[in-house]
Structure 1
Amino acid sequence: MEKDADVQDDSLFEQFVAERVDGLLRYGYVLTGNPHDAADLVQEALVRLRGSWERVRRKHGLDAYVRTTMTRLHVNIWRRRRREYVTAALPDHAYEDSPYEGSCLWDALAKLPRRQRAVLVLRYYEQLTDAEIAAVLGISRGTVRSQASRALDKLRGDLPAIVENMGYVT
């Protein structure tokens, strides 16, 4: 009887992953700006979900659980690794797998600190409220609003260069 429950849990978990992995990868990419880091975030979040599947699967917030895990991992990643990667060998060419890399808007977003970018992604990409963003990031609603305001101010400061490079006449 216990084996049947384990097989059913495995089946439900596999079904959840199959249905949502593409959306989670897109969300991870918007958070990180890098397809490899996005895949790492998704993988780590799904590993954590599987570890707590028995407890979490009965709740209705599986997607929120995974997105919250991904966002917290992303925001805290600076504690575990540096921004620069020191290597003795230089790459032959730049990695250009993303249609966004090199665009002025993407470059401006990439310059934002991790928490500010996370707040904007959660607000405008995931369309979460300030209270939901605060819960995901573990910060107050006031901090959410101030981080969003600072991020938008920085983007507004870069707006003339973005508009100029996109070919619009100002």
Structure 2
Amino acid sequence: MGPDDDGFAAFVAARGTSLLRVAYLACGDDRDAEDLLQTALERTYRKWDRVRHDNPEPYVRRIIVNTAISRARRRAILRILPTHTPPELPVRETDVDLRHVLMDALRALPPRQRAVVVLRYWEDLGETQTAEILGCSAGTVKSQASKALTKLRSALGAESVEGLIRNVHA
């Protein structure tokens, strides 16, 4: 137990649910999301003296996203990913059905593109903030977002995927 354990515990209590949502969106599975968050919080705790003075949330988000991408790459090496077929449900079903369709489409994206979509449109971060979390340039965020949105539009048959994501999230 360190001198600022109360500060870390307060941070986790205040932001844990939001961070778990980011983890879920980054990987698409409840158990994996909990594991991702636990890994990120463990790493953050070890560096708490250094990161607590700034806003630690972007630090934790970056760990979540990078860990999700690394795990997806390792899994891709071990097996061939099945191809995704567009959902047969029309996009304008109930909110619950729409959420499932959207989650399936997000899972079909490559990890980096999924991370960009989650951070830019679900978490509503700017290009600069997203680039900082992912450790890349704003141009990379723009190109990855463009590619991801094109794939989502194709899979969902929707004109405005950005609005759809925000509406499902609300």
Which residue of 1 is the match for residue 6 of structure 2? 11
Query: Counterparts of 2:58 and 2:65 in 1: how far apart (Å)?
Result: 10
Which residue of 2 is the match for residue 112 of structure 1? 109
2:70 is equivalent to residue 76 of structure 1: yes
2:134 is equivalent to residue 137 of structure 1: yes
Structure 1 position 119, deviation (Å): 0.4
Structure 1 position 159, deviation (Å): 2.8
Report Cα offsets for 1:39-61 as digits up to 9, x if no partner. 011101100111001111122x1
Consecutive unaligned residues of structure 2, counting only runs of 5 or more, are 81-95, 159-170
TM-score norm. by structure 1 comes to 0.74
Higher RCO (C-alpha under 8 Å, 6+ residues apart): 2
Q: Tell me which of 1, 23, 30 is aligned to 2:25.
A: 30
Greater helix fraction, Structure 1 or Structure 2: 2
Q: Tell me which of 97, 102, 122 is aligned to 1:125.
A: 122
Q: Is the 8 A contact 1:108 1:155 kept in 2?
A: yes
Structure 1 position 79, deviation (Å): 4.1
Q: Is the 8 A contact 1:100 1:106 kept in 2?
A: no
One-letter amino acid of the structure 2 residue matched with residue 68 of structure 1: R
TM-score norm. by structure 2 comes to 0.74
Query: Counterparts of 1:106 and 1:17 in 2: how far apart (Å)?
Result: 25
Structure 1 position 124, deviation (Å): 0.7
Which residue of 1 is the match for residue 144 of structure 2? 147
Q: Percent identity at matched positions?
A: 46
Query: Counterparts of 1:45 and 1:158 in 2: how far apart (Å)?
Result: 31
One-letter amino acid of the structure 1 residue matched with residue 61 of structure 2: R
Structure 1 position 106, deviation (Å): 2.1
Report Cα offsets for 1:58-117 as digits up to 9, x if no partner. 22x1111111111111122234444759xxxxxxxxxxxxx6799322222211111111
Q: Is the 8 A contact 1:119 1:144 kept in 2?
A: yes
Task: Note closer, same or farther for the CA distance 1:80–1:15 as it changes in structure 2 (3 Å cut).
Answer: same
Which residue of 2 is the match for residue 64 of structure 1? 58
Report Cα offsets for 1:12-48 as digits up to 9, x if no partner. 1122112221111111111111011110111011001
SS in 2 for 1:103: helix
Consecutive unaligned residues of structure 1, counting only runs of 5 or more, are 86-98, 162-170
Q: Is the 8 A contact 1:101 1:107 kept in 2?
A: no
Query: Counterparts of 1:46 and 1:102 in 2: how far apart (Å)?
Result: 27
Rg larger for: 1
